Structures are given as structure tokens and as C-alpha cells.
Amino acid sequence: MADAPPDGLVLSRIPTPIGVGLAITDAAGRLRAFDWEDHVPRMRRLLRLHYGPAAEPVEGAAPTAVAQVFEAYFAGALTALDTLTTATAGTPFQRQAWAALRRIPAGRTVSYGELATEIGRPKAVRAVGLANGANPIGVVVPCHRVIGADGGLTGYGGGIERKRWLLAHEAGCA
């Protein structure tokens, strides 16, 4: 069952070196979603999944603090994303997986198996992958830092080229 939609959802466009990011914030300025302009259907699907059909953001400017954090991250201040206040719906398992994702330092990667072990569920590799794919706050909850067991790049909701760019950006700035 979806949570009630938060008050005052605002959809903002944030230019980045790898495309226009879409940030959804609530009335309190908390980041609720981040995706890419060319992935609007995915973002809307996740919003409906987490908050029901009434979750319709209005277009507007991002809170200054949110826009500045993304600008700083893409300029090389990789820990800037750690300062963002976020709020997500999702199941307790998903939230646990997303919290573990936020603990992966920039410039590092982990496998799905390592992430499952990190949350104390070493056999839940597939469930961790599904939670990763349902992450509504890409980049901030760094699902791009999860790779295959063989070290290869695996899928990323924003596209494999963005994943490759994000990993290279973080490796070069870490």
C-alpha cells in the first residue's frame, strides 16, 4: 500500500553535465525523488508506487540548498550529497537497502552480494537488486555504485552511460 502523498511536491529541473536532472522536493524542502529528464515515466511510476495516484508535483524552482548541493557534487565536491535531507516511502527492506547505499563512499563500488551482506541478508541478493531498481533518489542514494559480482557494470535506471560517467567522475574526484 502506498503512503499518503507528501504536501507541496515540486518538480524542478537541474542542469548537470550528463543531462537535465529532475528533483522532486516536498514542502519541507526534503528531496523525495531524483531522476533524469529522459526517464520521466520511470520517475512518475515510482511516485505512484510510493505515494499513490495523487502524487502529482507542480513545476517550480528547486530549493536553493538542493540546487547548490547538486551543483557542488557535479563540480567535484562528492560529499555534498551527504548533506541533503531526503524522505522516501518504500518497504522497510527497501529503506534498509537504500540506507546501506548511502554508506558506500564516493569512488568505491560494491557488488549486489556485498550489499546484501552489509544489511545482514547475504542470501537476499535478488531482493537487494530489486530494491536498488526501485530507488527513487538516484545519484543521492548512489545505486550507480553497485556493480556485478564479476566487477562489470550492470543496469542503471538512468542508463549505463550515465552510470559509467558517475563512476568515473567519483573516481577522478575521490
Catalytic residues, which ones?
Answer: 143
Collapsed DSSP state (helix, strand, coil) of residue 153: coil
The C-alpha atoms of residue 29 and residue 79 are separated, in whole angstroms, by 19
Question: Alpha helix locations (H) across 37-85?
Answer: 40-51, 64-74
How many residues does this entry show for the chain?
174
Q: What Cα–Cα distance (Å) separates residue 21 from each residue in 52, 88, 135, 140?
A: 23, 18, 15, 12
Place of cell 529541473: 13
Parallel/antiparallel/unpaired status of strands 146-147 and 110-111: parallel
